[in-house]
Structure 1
Amino acid sequence: MNLFRALSIYTMSSLLGRAVPFFLLPIMTKYLTPAEYGVVSIYIVMVTFLSTVMYWGAHVHIGIEYFKMVESDYRRLLGSLSLIPLLIFLITYFIFFFVNAIFNIEAFSPCLFLSIPLAALLGYLYRLMTVYFRVSNQQYRFAFVEVITSLLQVFFSITFVVFLLYGVQGRVVAILLSSFIIASYLIFYIKSNKLMVFDFNLKFYLNYFKSGLAYVFNELGNQIIRIGDKFLIMIFMGSNFVGPYAVAAQVASIALILNSVFTQAWQPYVFKILSSNSSQEKRKLYTLTLVITGAFFFIYIALGAISIIIYDIFIDIRYHESLPAVKWLLAGFFFTFVYGIFADYMFFSKQIKKISLVTFFNLVLFVIFSVLFMAEYGVFGVAYAFSLSSLSSTILCAYLSSKCDYSLFKLKREVETQNEIKDKVG
């Protein structure tokens, strides 16, 4: 696998995908009222949270197991995992149906509310197959799915919201319709390539339940941290303080795109090398990890400088007071990046409980620090809390990673041993 070619492909396709919310922002805010835009935002958040539960970590698990299984077993794994979202969809749909019948959900019409489980289910194959395309080194097919998904979102959103003036319903229909088209294409691809073998094995599901639960907990915890800062500010300081902080978070979120793009290429690369017995490749992995970490450190410093320019050119002066928060958020995102470096080894070692422990530790620490720091530093306290909790969690993750079967520290010792042997031979 050519890491840098993969990075370039993932960067271009993922940037287009991440650019969709930014591209649609001025359009949606013009054609939707603030209340309607809020409903759409809540809808997307609910779909995201439900998706995490519905997928039960399948998209994470297949990335880890790809390099450990023969093809026939892997196809059976894909089929078995894909039955889980179908079952959870049926359960959640009935739950939503009864909730809608019993309670009056003011924010959503019945049709919108009941479409949430469907939207989550339709997104499953996209999440699953984009991971599969990454680990199987199909960068161009990954890019195709990413780009087409983004274009469909934009096309249908403009069609239904701008031209047909369907409002919130139009935006939701755009989400559902684009997801349906992509899911249909992926079903055709799976069937053509005989990629899944469906085999209902109760023992498999019982064994997978705990690890899947840990995946869910880890992902939900990270999602809560990403959106929890705004809720904490609203609760303890009022909604007037959310806006400026949200602008700082939006500017700093450029780092999240970099982290995501890098992970898409890096994680399969790491898993493939760890699955091999090549000492030379492992030595290369260790050296490359140090180089990339150093490079990202300077990239994040550069982002801090660029954020000043972004504020001066694009951000209204009323929001400039939030600029200092950007550098602390960027620091937190850098520590999150380093955390991901160590967490990959824990995932590969199947130490999911340890990852869950780090997630829980991070979540609790973030809430405690946020409450304490907001009382002293105001809205900036949340940014300080995010940075400090991310650093603390990274240190804990590094320590727990060192106790796993595979770790960066063991690669380091292996490299040192090989260097000693070379010196003796020389």
Structure 2
Amino acid sequence: MKLNLLFKSASIYIVTGVANSAIPFILLPILTRVLSPSEYGKIVMFSSAFVVISSIVCLSVHGSVSVKYFDINIDHPRYLATSLMVVFPSAMFCIFFIIVFSNPLSRYVGISHWWLIFAALASVAQFIVQLRLLMWQVSHNAFKYGVFVVSQTVMNLAISLFFVLGLSYGWEGRGVGIVLSMFLFGIVAFLSMQVAGMLRWKFSFMYAKSMLKFGIPLIPHSVGGLLMSMTDRFAISALIGIEEAGVYAAAMQIGLIVFVVSDACNKSFAPWLFSILSKNDESEKIKIVKYTYFLFFAIPVLAYFFGKIAPWLLQFVVGSQYQSGSGAVLFIALGGGFGAMYYLVANYVFYAEKTGALACVTLFSGVVNVVLAMLLVKANGSVGAAQAYMASQIICFFLTWIIAGNVYSMPWKFFIWK
């Protein structure tokens, strides 16, 4: 793909990524003034639980679909349909687990188990949406990708505001907005793929085995990622209280803007990278390393400067009752920056399909985050949680880079020497 097309796609992904992340950001000054920190904390816990459940239900199958898209020997419509037939029983098992352990789960998360069941069902819809978006992404159709994401963002925002402000549903109104918009666009995404002939409903054990071989080693990877991204909120809720978790989450929304923008860039970078790697051209590899090193410099600098001004932004957006979380923003921004850099090097591990090693790194980093969060939250409060998050992201990035250099040859050292 030509470089100008890459930049054009990246700009669209950035706009749509920012638009998608704009939901919590736009709702932030509204919800923090309408709801108490305790109620906002419940929104945070539901959103966090939804992310955890989605990672379990989806089994990282969409990653396999992305990698296999460039394999000309794959029957892609059958592969996509098989992926859906793999995820559905996974969701049913997850719902069964939630029902059996409903009481302890409700006490730990702080919300009714019914909301956890809704989250499991919405995870299936989210997986379908991910497939539809992935097909546009790998085929370099960034415009349709952007229209779909922005439309879903607008629907999510409208439903949430209607139930929170119009019907005074409290924090549950935000939950309805998340779940209902996901269901509606899951249906649209499914019909879009079906009409376009992207699904051929004939189950393949060989394809299912390939997906699970790719995805199952990534379960520890997903668990590690969740430990890195979610431990801070759960630790604050357990050790300090759900009200402080709500305050911290408001700071988190501000601090992760750098990560959102960088992640949007990666959505354009990854398909381009996979297509270049398939050619095995040494001169193109040097160009890739050049762009990557530039991002390694730019992302932390951007994160640092944004983290320095973000406390002022936090006070302006959410108000004084959430201002106590401002001290955590700089560490969150730096952690999000290193998290974005992680994706740049993890792409090589995904391409080489050496996901087992990646799982070990993320799981180790996640455990480090848990230990540090428990120690630092007791010592420094919510700032300690942010410090633990930053430390785990830095560890994960450097270890993943080392693995990437071992599983796929790139001229990292040659470029530095030149």
Q: 1:197 to 1:289 in 2, by over 3 A?
A: same
Give the whole-Å Cα distance in 1 for the aligned partners of 2:90 and 2:395.
Answer: 35
Give the whole-Å Cα distance in 1 for the aligned partners of 2:258 and 2:389.
Answer: 14
Aligned to 1:159: 162
Mapping 1:130-141, distance limit 5 Å:
130-141=133-144
Superposed displacement of residue 382, structure 1: 3.1
Superposed displacement of residue 354, structure 1: 0.8
C-alpha contact (below 8 Å) 1:50/1:117 kept by paired residues: yes
- For the pair 1:91 / 2:101, whether they are aligned, the reply is no
1:9-31 superposed Cα distances (whole Å, 9 cap, x missing partner): 11111111111112223444566
Q: Percent identity?
A: 23
Number of matched pairs: 413
Q: Kindly provide the amino acid, as one letter, of the partner of residue 91 in structure 1.
A: F
Give the whole-Å Cα distance in 2 for the aligned partners of 1:181 and 1:376.
Answer: 45
C-alpha contact (below 8 Å) 2:21/2:260 kept by paired residues: yes
Aligned to 1:411: 411
Mapping 1:199-278, distance limit 5 Å:
199-236=202-239, 242=245, 245-278=248-281
Superposed displacement of residue 93, structure 1: 3.6
Superposed displacement of residue 235, structure 1: 4.0
Q: Kindly provide the amino acid, as one letter, of the partner of residue 411 in structure 2.
A: L
Superposed displacement of residue 293, structure 1: 2.3
Q: Kindly provide the amino acid, as one letter, of the partner of residue 117 in structure 1.
A: A
Aligned to 2:359: 356
Superposed displacement of residue 143, structure 1: 0.5
Aligned to 2:388: 385
Give the whole-Å Cα distance in 2 for the aligned partners of 1:189 and 1:398.
Answer: 38
Aligned to 2:79: 77
Give the whole-Å Cα distance in 2 for the aligned partners of 1:372 and 1:109.
Answer: 29
Superposed displacement of residue 206, structure 1: 3.6
Give the whole-Å Cα distance in 2 for the aligned partners of 1:348 and 1:147.
Answer: 29
Q: 1:247 to 1:36 in 2, by over 3 A?
A: closer
Superposed displacement of residue 228, structure 1: 0.9
Q: 1:238 to 1:61 in 2, by over 3 A?
A: same
Give the whole-Å Cα distance in 2 for the aligned partners of 1:380 and 1:166.
Answer: 31
Q: Kindly provide the amino acid, as one letter, of the partner of residue 361 in structure 1.
A: F
| Unmatched tracts of structure 2, length 5 or more | none
Q: 1:177 to 1:360 in 2, by over 3 A?
A: closer
Q: Give TM-score scaled by structure 2 length.
A: 0.86
Give the whole-Å Cα distance in 1 for the aligned partners of 2:116 and 2:247.
Answer: 30
Larger Rg: 1
Give the whole-Å Cα distance in 1 for the aligned partners of 2:344 and 2:269.
Answer: 9
Q: Kindly provide the amino acid, as one letter, of the partner of residue 286 in structure 1.
A: V
SS of 2:70's partner is coil
Q: Kindly provide the amino acid, as one letter, of the partner of residue 127 in structure 2.
A: Y
1:189-239 superposed Cα distances (whole Å, 9 cap, x missing partner): 212221122332334434433431222332232123212113323444566
C-alpha contact (below 8 Å) 1:63/1:135 kept by paired residues: yes
Give the whole-Å Cα distance in 2 for the aligned partners of 1:319 and 1:28.
Answer: 12
Q: 1:29 to 1:273 in 2, by over 3 A?
A: same
C-alpha contact (below 8 Å) 1:79/1:198 kept by paired residues: yes
C-alpha contact (below 8 Å) 1:96/1:114 kept by paired residues: yes
Superposed displacement of residue 142, structure 1: 0.6
1:31-51 superposed Cα distances (whole Å, 9 cap, x missing partner): 656665554443333332222
Superposed displacement of residue 330, structure 1: 2.6
Q: Kindly provide the amino acid, as one letter, of the partner of residue 216 in structure 1.
A: I
Q: Of the candidates 276, 279, 282, which is equivalent to residue 279 of structure 1?
A: 282
Give the whole-Å Cα distance in 2 for the aligned partners of 1:176 and 1:374.
Answer: 32
Give the whole-Å Cα distance in 1 for the aligned partners of 2:77 and 2:69.
Answer: 10
Q: Of the candidates 295, 306, 309, which is equivalent to residue 309 of structure 2?
A: 306
Aligned to 2:67: 64
1:47-80 superposed Cα distances (whole Å, 9 cap, x missing partner): 322221111112222222222335x522222121
C-alpha contact (below 8 Å) 1:68/1:275 kept by paired residues: no
C-alpha contact (below 8 Å) 1:112/1:169 kept by paired residues: no
1:301-325 superposed Cα distances (whole Å, 9 cap, x missing partner): 3313432542564465676565443
Q: Give TM-score scaled by structure 1 length.
A: 0.84
Q: 1:364 to 1:78 in 2, by over 3 A?
A: same
In angstroms, what is the RMSD of aligned CA positions? Answer: 3.2
C-alpha contact (below 8 Å) 2:6/2:268 kept by paired residues: yes
Q: 1:222 to 1:99 in 2, by over 3 A?
A: closer
Aligned to 1:174: 177
Superposed displacement of residue 120, structure 1: 1.8
C-alpha contact (below 8 Å) 1:283/1:411 kept by paired residues: yes
Q: 1:175 to 1:379 in 2, by over 3 A?
A: closer
Give the whole-Å Cα distance in 1 for the aligned partners of 2:249 and 2:276.
Answer: 40
Give the whole-Å Cα distance in 1 for the aligned partners of 2:163 and 2:249.
Answer: 28
Q: 1:300 to 1:41 in 2, by over 3 A?
A: closer
Give the whole-Å Cα distance in 1 for the aligned partners of 2:415 and 2:135.
Answer: 31
Q: Kindly provide the amino acid, as one letter, of the partner of residue 227 in structure 1.
A: M
Superposed displacement of residue 258, structure 1: 1.8
Superposed displacement of residue 129, structure 1: 1.7
| Unmatched tracts of structure 1, length 5 or more | 420-426
Q: Of the candidates 179, 198, 209, which is equivalent to residue 201 of structure 2?
A: 198
More displaced 10-residue stretch of structure 1: 235-244 or 74-83: 235-244
Give the whole-Å Cα distance in 1 for the aligned partners of 2:212 and 2:362.
Answer: 19
Q: Of the candidates 9, 17, 34, which is equivalent to residue 14 of structure 1?
A: 17
C-alpha contact (below 8 Å) 1:374/1:380 kept by paired residues: yes
Give the whole-Å Cα distance in 1 for the aligned partners of 2:26 and 2:212.
Answer: 39
1:135-191 superposed Cα distances (whole Å, 9 cap, x missing partner): 110101110110110111122223333334455554444334322321222222212
More displaced 10-residue stretch of structure 1: 27-36 or 61-70: 27-36
